[in-house]
């Protein structure tokens, strides 16, 4: 796998396809990834704030310890869509109406992001902080929320079948009911 940093980014940035590349410590703020094909790549410790991903194809892409702010993932090309997040800071992002079956948002801070009408079947959000993120009419069947926190998921407005929660944090499911647990 080729490693790309700020020092050698100019050598490939104009390419329409990225394959088998680890992008490390790169500030991609406001960059347009539109219509690019990105497969078998890793974004590690990058800044992806306010990037554009319209019709971008992500296939087998990992985001590790990466900052992702104001990104509308709803506009990516869903053919061969597969990506994962590990230990990322994801803020104000939209995943509305996406099929994110088997995706990992592992140990990530996912703040004020939107998962309306999203299929998160078999997704893993373990150890993630979901403060002010929205889950509405989403399929959370067999989704793993083990040791996740600050989620507000209304069981009446989402599909929860065999969804896993930690015993100590399951009280977050009651948040939408405006009740007091002492």
- All structural domains of the chain, each given as residue ranges with its CATH number in brackets, are 1-93 (2.160.20.80), 106-182 (2.160.20.80)
Burial of residue 28, with CB atoms counted within 10 A of its CB: 0-12 exposed, 13-18 middle, 19 or more buried: buried
pLDDT of res. 23 = 98
Query: Mean pLDDT across the stretch 37-63?
Result: 97
How confident is the prediction for the chain on average, in pLDDT?
Answer: 94
Place of tokens 């869509």: 81
Higher pLDDT, 23 or 173: 23
Q: Predicted confidence band at 85 (pLDDT cuts at 50, 70, 90)?
A: very high
pLDDT of res. 180 = 77
Model pLDDT for residues 108-164, shown as the tens digit of each residue: 999 999 999 999 999 999 999 999 999 999 999 999 999 999 999 999 999 999 999
> How many other CB atoms sit within 10 Å of the CB of residue 177?
11
Instruction: Yes or no: say if 133 and 110 are a contact pair by the CB < 8 Å rule.
Output: yes
Range with the poorest average pLDDT among 30-44, 74-88, 110-124: 74-88
Query: Mean pLDDT across the stretch 60-64?
Result: 97
b/e per residue 129-155 (b: at least 16 CB within 10 A): bbeebbbeebbbbbbbbeebebbebee
Q: In 3-state terms, what secondary structure has residue 121? A: coil
pLDDT of res. 98 = 96
| 161: Cβ contacts below 8 Å, ≥ 6 apart | 141, 142
Report how far apart, in Å, the C-alpha atoms of 119 and of each of 29, 48, 54, 79, 142 are. 28, 24, 20, 15, 11
Where does the chain show beta strands of DSSP type E? 2-4, 17-19, 21-24, 37-44, 57-64, 67-69, 77-86, 89-91, 105-106, 109-111, 114-116, 134-136, 144-145, 164-165
Q: In 3-state terms, what secondary structure has residue 139? A: strand
Q: Predicted confidence band at 176 (pLDDT cuts at 50, 70, 90)?
A: confident
């Amino acid at each position: 796998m080729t490693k790309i940093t700020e020092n050698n980014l100019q050598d490939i940035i104009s390419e329409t396809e990225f394959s088998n590349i680890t992008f490390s410590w790169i500030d991609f703020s406001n960059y347009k990834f539109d219509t690019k094909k990105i497969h078998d790549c890793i974004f590690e410790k990058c800044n992806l704030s306010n990037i554009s991903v319209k019709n971008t194809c992500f296939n087998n892409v990992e985001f590790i310890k990466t900052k992702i702010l104001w990104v509308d993932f709803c506009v990516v090309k869903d053919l061969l869509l597969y990506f994962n997040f590990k230990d990322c800071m994801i803020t104000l992002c939209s995943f509305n109406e996406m099929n994110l079956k088997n995706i990992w948002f592992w140990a990530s801070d996912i703040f004020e992001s939107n998962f309306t009408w999203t299929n998160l079947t078999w997704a893993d959000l373990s150890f993630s902080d979901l403060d002010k993120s929205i889950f509405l009419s989403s399929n959370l069947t067999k989704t793993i929320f083990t040791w996740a926190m600050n989620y507000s998921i209304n069981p009446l407005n989402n599909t929860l079948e065999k969804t896993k929660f930690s015993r100590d944090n399951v009280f977050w499911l009651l948040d939408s009911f405006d009740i007091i647990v002492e």
